[in-house]
């Protein structure tokens, strides 16, 4: 028996969310930035999936029984633009933190295994 499309989309969103959270819990800045970005993608797909994907549906108003909702698409488009700008800002913060502290660890302290104190 084949799983339903809703189950596959929900499972995919769940895995992307878990990967994003796992990356955010890392100790270095690049995986944290990557985790924030991946988590943002998961939220965007979740919002887009909540709007349902209609075939041959009229946008907003129409004579048919199915009416497509453009709001989730507009929200995702806006979130993509804001997420891109936020990612650029966070990368700049990570680079500045690396320059100021001399390490790319999130807490600013070097790793003891790498010879730091």
pLDDT in tens, the chain (117 residues): 777 888 888 999 999 999 999 999 998 889 999 999 999 999 999 988 887 766 666 666 666 666 667 788 888 899 999 999 999 999 999 899 888 888 888 876 766 666 555
Are 40 and 83 in contact, with CB atoms under 8 Å apart? yes
DSSP letter at 41 equals: H
Q: Which of 38, 66, 40 lies closest to 53, judged by CA?
A: 66
pTM: 0.76
Cα separation, 68 vs 91, in Å, equals 37
């Amino acid at each position: 028996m084949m799983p339903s499309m809703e189950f596959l989309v929900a499972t995919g969103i769940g895995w992307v969310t878990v990967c994003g959270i796992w990356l955010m819990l890392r100790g270095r800045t690049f995986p944290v930035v990557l985790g924030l970005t991946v988590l943002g993608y998961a939220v965007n797909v979740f919002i887009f999936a909540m709007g349902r994907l209609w075939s041959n549906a009229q946008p907003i108003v129409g004579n048919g029984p199915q009416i497509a909702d453009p709001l989730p698409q507009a929200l995702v488009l806006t979130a993509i633009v804001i997420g891109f700008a936020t990612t650029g800002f966070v990368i700049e913060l990570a680079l500045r933190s690396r320059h100021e502290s001399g390490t790319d660890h999130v807490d600013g302290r070097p790793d003891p295994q790498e010879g730091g104190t």
